[in-house]
Amino acid sequence: MNQEKIRCSVGVTAYNEEANIGALLDALIHQHLYDVEITEIIVVASGCTDRTVPIVQEYMEKDPRIRLFVQPRREGKTSAINVFLQHAREDICVLESGDTLPREDAIENLVRMFADPKVGMTGAHKVPLNTPDHLVGLFTHLRLRMEHELCLDIPRLGELIAFRKVFDRIPPDVAMDEAFVEALVIQRGLQVRYAPDAVVYNSGPETVSEFVRQRRRNHAGHLYLKHKYGYKVASIQNGRVIKIALREMWGAIRLLFTLGVLAVLEAWARLLGWYDFAIKKELHTVWDMAWSQKTNLAQAEQEWTGRKHEETIVSPVHEVKPIER
């Protein structure tokens, strides 16, 4: 109980985030913390033309830990991160995008891993909130599910990360800040770990053009990082990505096959039903029994309840491999 807590500085980069910044600050203020302490929340607002700054100022009156730094014009996320690094007081820094939302235990699960001195960087589990009821939403869900599977093998971190402050700034020509931090941490002989229980919510693109634009700029940034700084992120290791993609595709193929069989059976049953009604004039007032349905429902309900109870009290064990030198 007397163990010293792991103190951290939280940085939020924001550009025109009036729709989300209030909810994000609320979530950070009310994090469920036990082994971790948030000593400050630094918001860097870059060239905002909406109500982002006034909303942050309102929250500054509610919580003295919140500090605001305003960049008059938008200079890019890397520039905003450097402002955060310049003013962060703690050795452990948490960096979050202004268009995301951490679950109530995200910071705890992300930062407590630094109790191990070998850990230099951790990253959260990204979960999309936009529903996969259209093609682009489905792409987003599929891509993040594949990314989660990849991270369990080799961490590829973004949106919400934490790292030891072993550097003062990021070069202004770097667009993929999380990947560059990952490279710096590994160069210093520290490990990069994925925190699957540190959930951060976001919303993916809603149109095909935005999806392509986002993936295009990310890949270009990763290629530049590899070209100039010699660091290759996990997503460029095509063998691993293809393996995971094929596994996901096989799952989709099995689902489509199952739905296809179901559709055929339903069509056949309806055809037979039409034959009974139209040709045989059979009303089925006394129908043939489906005897497999006849079972002890009380016993089945007890067994089902027992399985659900075990799933609730037994937390999943994630086999997560760290990146290290």
pLDDT in tens, 219-266: 565 565 565 555 555 554 555 555 555 565 566 566 667 767 777 777
* H or E segment to which residue 59 belongs: helix 52-62
What is the reported pTM? 0.66
Residue 270 banded pLDDT, cuts 50, 70, 90: confident
In this structure, which amino acid lies at residue 14? A
- Confidence band (pLDDT; 50, 70, 90) for 181? confident
Output the pLDDT for position 171: 78
| Rounded CA separation 241/206 (Å) | 23
Work out the number of other CB atoms within 10 angstroms of the CB of residue 244. 18
Which pLDDT does position 314 carry in this prediction? 46
Phi and psi angles of residue 75, each rounded to the nearest 5 degrees, phi first? -115, 5
Residues 6+ apart with CB under 8 A from 68: 42, 43, 45, 53, 56, 57, 60
Instruction: With a cut of 80, say whether residue 315 has pLDDT above it.
Output: no
For 50, the token pair is 């909406």
- Domain positions in the chain: 6-236, 243-310
The highest-level CATH class for domain 6-236 is alpha beta
Q: Distance between CA atoms of 200 and 218, rounded to whole angstroms?
A: 19
- Is the pLDDT assigned to residue 109 strictly greater than 80? yes
